[in-house]
Amino acid sequence: MDLHEEPQQTVNTDFVPPESTSIAQFKGWIPTVSGRLSFSLFGATTHPTDATTTNISDRDTRYVISYQQRYLLDAVLSRRLASLIFGLTGEFSAVCIGKASNNPAVPSEHMEGFLFLFRKKWKDAHGLIEAERLYLQGQQPVATGKLESIYEHRFGDLALALLTKSIFAARFRLDRDGEATLEIPDLNSLSDDAPSFPNSEKEHYLHLVSSQLFFFLKDIAHHHQHHDPHTDTLVDLHQFDEGDDYYWRCETLRGLYRKILEFKRLRSESVCRSARGVLVYARSFKSLSEKKLGRAIEPELQLGKL
């Protein structure tokens, strides 16, 4: 049987409200050496805190509900910026709900769903999420392709309910090779305590807060085997233009190269190992990207010999 003749399973996202049009789109890469992220381990992380996750599948479909407490005070959002945008510093809550094919005959598997940030309305949202997570967890015995018919409508209802309670949200697609796309919905669809971005720097702030969702997605999808898990900016999120699939890849590879050179300047055996580990990621991303692009990626920053 030729597996490439099998129809690809698509994720039903008809539940997305029409007013939630995309106002920005970003791309980033979640590191993987093999080029095959494991969706069965999605959500199994303790960094930066333990994630609460239900990850259920049958022979055809996988659903995931995962949430984690995170902190605004990191390398991306400074204390001043956190106060300016959110009116607070410290802890907030991040949630991911996702759906993927679990059919081994599907050649290009991916996960799609939504990422949310919560502040004041987290208590209400948490109760809703926990109820849905426990319901989904109760479907564990389902083993013969019935999970989608049982849970799809509830998945859509959950997405809509969380959108109106969150202070920020993104629709995401995560490919097995680590390529992640985040689309930011119209901010009018969000909670009434959502941040207000000044028009003069709206694009900049959208990127910064979207990066928080990307780092959350990275932490629940990727296991830190080749670097310190606190290296949040090992890879970053980049503005994406539908007509240009090269720029974000070039910037991602340049960022990995810079991290390697940064590690090399520090004279310690453990840091040297980290540099070599990140070099593995850089080579993996370069190979994956060049296959998709059909051309070489040549960022201006040159590594030389490591």
299 vs 64: which has the higher pLDDT: 64
In the chain, the number of structural domains is 2
Instruction: Quote the pTM value.
Output: 0.84
Question: Parallel, antiparallel, or unpaired for β 238-239 and 22-29?
Answer: antiparallel
- The mean-pLDDT minimum among 13-22, 99-108, 214-223, 253-262 falls in 13-22
Query: What string of H, E and C letters represents the secondary structure of the chain?
Result: CCHHHCCCCCCCCCCCCCCCCEEEEEEEECCCCCCCCCHHHCCCCCCCCCCEEEEEECCCEEEEEEEEEEECCCCCCCHHHHHHHHCCCCEEEEEEEEEEECCCCCCCCEEEEEEEEECCCHHHHHHHHHHHHHHHHCCCCCCCCCHHHHHHHHHHHHHHHHHCCCCEEEEEEEECCCEEEEEEECHHHCCCCCCCCCHHHHHHHHHHHHHHHHHHHHHHHCCCCCCCCCCHHHCCCEECECCECCHHHHHHHHHHHHHHHHHHCCCCHHHHHHHHHHHHHHHHHHHHHHHHHCCCCCCCCCCCCC
Asked whether residue 118 falls in the same domain as residue 209, the answer is yes
Asked whether residue 197 falls in the same domain as residue 269, the answer is no
In a domain, 301, yes or no: no
CA angle, 79 then 83 then 89, to 5°: 65
The yes-or-no verdict on residue 258 having pLDDT over 70 is: yes
In a domain, 90, yes or no: yes
40-54, 69-83, 272-286, range with greatest mean pLDDT: 40-54
Asked whether residue 251 falls in the same domain as residue 202, the answer is no
Asked whether residue 252 falls in the same domain as residue 111, the answer is no
pLDDT at 142: 61
Compute the radius of gyration of the chain from its Cα atoms.
19
Asked whether residue 15 falls in the same domain as residue 122, the answer is yes
- The mean-pLDDT minimum among 113-117, 123-127, 144-148, 223-227 falls in 223-227
Which residues contact residue 305 at a Cβ distance below 8 angstroms, ignoring those fewer than 6 apart? Answer: none
In a domain, 128, yes or no: yes
Question: Which tokens sit at 296?
Answer: 């070489």
Let me know: does 166 contact 159? Beta carbons within 8 Å. no
Q: Tell me the pLDDT tens digit for each residue of 27-66.
A: 999 998 888 898 999 998 888 889 999 999 998 899 999 9
- Percentage of the chain exceeding pLDDT 90: 46
In a domain, 302, yes or no: no
In a domain, 7, yes or no: yes
Task: Give the residue from 162, 191, 223 where a domain finishes.
Answer: 223
In a domain, 95, yes or no: yes
Q: How far apart are CA 110 and CA 49, in angstroms?
A: 25
Question: Parallel, antiparallel, or unpaired for β 61-71 and 52-57?
Answer: antiparallel
Asked whether residue 25 falls in the same domain as residue 129, the answer is yes
**Could you list the residue range(s) of the whole structural domain that residue 121 is in?**
3-223
Asked whether residue 186 falls in the same domain as residue 101, the answer is yes
In a domain, 162, yes or no: yes
Which residues contact residue 13 at a Cβ distance below 8 angstroms, ignoring those fewer than 6 apart? Answer: 112, 171
Termini Cα distance of the chain: 44
The yes-or-no verdict on residue 303 having pLDDT over 70 is: no
Asked whether residue 22 falls in the same domain as residue 167, the answer is yes
Asked whether residue 110 falls in the same domain as residue 167, the answer is yes
Asked whether residue 263 falls in the same domain as residue 131, the answer is no
4 vs 277: which has the higher pLDDT: 277
Asked whether residue 251 falls in the same domain as residue 201, the answer is no
In a domain, 242, yes or no: no
Let me know: does 28 contact 233? Beta carbons within 8 Å. no
Asked whether residue 277 falls in the same domain as residue 176, the answer is no
